[in-house]
């Protein structure tokens, strides 16, 4: 068998997934021994034209990180789908929309207004916005179209496997690549490199009783590093998040509550809804007024419960009048 052919791409992403690939350290050389990397814009100098000229299905595996936010992301996602045998959504953005997906709480125009005019650090000329086509003496300059909403990869092309995380743990990437190299592939559509059980299942913290009268944000209190975050009034997305990032989970070990980047466990269609259900069940009050007050302590429920998954959620985007 010849070497496997890999492509690694980023859509609307921060590059953290690419760093996670590089963070496999010397194991990256094992990947390079087993596979040729044909396309990896972050690390290697290839052009889109090089991909366009490849025969269909000539790439064995494409690791696609990042959400789909503009026409360039969509074009390359479709191109790589056409050229690849196996398409892997790498990381929270490709799987669920990720942090860029939080922009689905804003209107397209409001984002452009803020970025090109409103933000205090921007010196802007009034009325100047990026144009898809700009004519200059040398010809026409093109920019990708900025879409109304952020989409997940599978809202644009068919995805074979999902490798969750923000970013995915390097060890998990390696396991999945090894599974692919050895031909040990799970059924199509599977979430790989993660467990089916919720994060709480692998959490080492002490659990006693969940009765909360005040919700805090992590900067507001000194909390017990041994005890369940939720029991201390800190919102931890463990109950509504897939476990398996690492054992014990890294964020928890570093004394930070889970933020939910590994996405919902199987059979949960809306991670945020499940989480808000869990949170409301630990509120310790039967008085409507007090319940109201306790809930007011959760400052941004949408941003908290849908932090990594707004575009993949049932409602996907805010409705504007």
Partner 1 sequence: MDNFEPKIIGFYCNWSSQMGIDSAGVEGASYPPNLRLIRVMCSGSVDPEVIIEAFKKGADGVVILGCHLGNCHYRNGNYNALRRYRLLQKTLEQFGLEKERLRLEWVSVAEGKRFAGLVGEITEELRRLGPLRQFS
- C-alpha pair distances (Å), 255 with each of 166, 192, 248: 17, 26, 12
DSSP H helices, the chain, are 16-22, 27-34, 48-52, 71-83, 91-96, 108-113, 170-181, 250-253, 271-280, 288-296, 301-305
* Residues 232, 237: Cα–Cα separation, whole Å: 14
Q: Which is nearer to partner 1, 167 or 257 (by Cβ)?
A: 257
* Residues 34, 27: Cα–Cα separation, whole Å: 11
CB of 105 to partner 1, least distance (A): 7
* Residues 182, 128: Cα–Cα separation, whole Å: 53
CB of 272 to partner 1, least distance (A): 7
CB of 73 to partner 1, least distance (A): 19
* Residues 186, 320: Cα–Cα separation, whole Å: 41
**Of 20, 5, 308, residue with least CA distance to 175:** 20
CA 165 to chain centre: 6
CB of 2 to partner 1, least distance (A): 44
What residues contact residue 293 under an 8 Å CB cut-off, 6+ apart? none
- C-alpha pair distances (Å), 18 with each of 15, 39, 234: 5, 12, 31
Q: Which is nearer to partner 1, 47 or 318 (by Cβ)?
A: 318
CB of 100 to partner 1, least distance (A): 17
Q: Which is nearer to partner 1, 171 or 282 (by Cβ)?
A: 282
> Given the rule CB under 8 A, which residues bind partner 1?
105, 149, 268-270, 272-274, 276-277, 279-281, 283, 285-286, 288, 291-292, 295, 298, 300-303, 305, 313-321
CB of 205 to partner 1, least distance (A): 23
**Of 317, 313, 244, 237, residue with least CA distance to 279:** 237
Joined together, the tokens standing for residue 271 give 């991670």
CB of 283 to partner 1, least distance (A): 5
Q: Crossing angle of helices 170-181/27-34, nearest 10°? A: 20
């Amino acid at each position: 068998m010849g070497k496997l052919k890999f492509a690694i791409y980023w859509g609307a992403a921060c590059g953290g997934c690419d760093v996670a690939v590089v963070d496999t350290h010397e194991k990256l050389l094992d990947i390079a021994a087993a596979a040729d990397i044909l396309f990896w814009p972050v690390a290697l100098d290839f052009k889109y034209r090089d991909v366009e000229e490849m025969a269909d299905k000539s790439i064995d595996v494409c690791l696609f990180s990042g959400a789909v936010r503009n026409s360039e992301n969509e074009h390359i996602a479709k191109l790589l789908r056409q050229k690849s045998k196996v398409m892997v959504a790498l990381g929270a953005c490709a799987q669920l929309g990720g942090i860029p997906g939080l922009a689905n709480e804003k209107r397209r125009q409001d984002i452009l207004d803020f970025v090109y005019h409103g933000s205090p650090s921007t010196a802007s000329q009034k009325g100047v916005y990026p144009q898809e086509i700009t004519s200059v003496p040398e010809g026409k300059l093109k920019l990708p179209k900025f879409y109304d909403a952020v989409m997940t990869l599978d809202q644009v092309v068919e995805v074979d496997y999902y490798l969750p995380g923000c970013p995915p743990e390097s060890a998990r990437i390696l396991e999945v690549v090894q599974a692919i190299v050895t031909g040990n592939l799970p059924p199509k559509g599977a979430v790989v490199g993660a467990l089916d059980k919720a994060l709480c299942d692998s959490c080492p913290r002490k659990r006693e009783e969940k009765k909360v009268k005040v919700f805090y944000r992590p900067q507001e209190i000194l909390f017990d590093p041994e005890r369940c975050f939720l029991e201390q009034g800190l919102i931890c997305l463990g109950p509504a998040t897939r476990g398996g990032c690492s054992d014990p989970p890294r964020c928890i070990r570093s004394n930070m509550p889970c933020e939910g980047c590994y996405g919902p466990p199987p059979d949960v269609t809306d991670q945020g809804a499940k989480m808000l259900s869990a949170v409301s069940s630990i509120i310790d009050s039967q008085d409507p007024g007090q319940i109201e007050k306790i809930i007011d302590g959760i400052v941004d429920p949408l941003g908290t419960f849908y932090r990594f998954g707004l575009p993949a959620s049932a409602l996907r985007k805010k409705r504007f009048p």
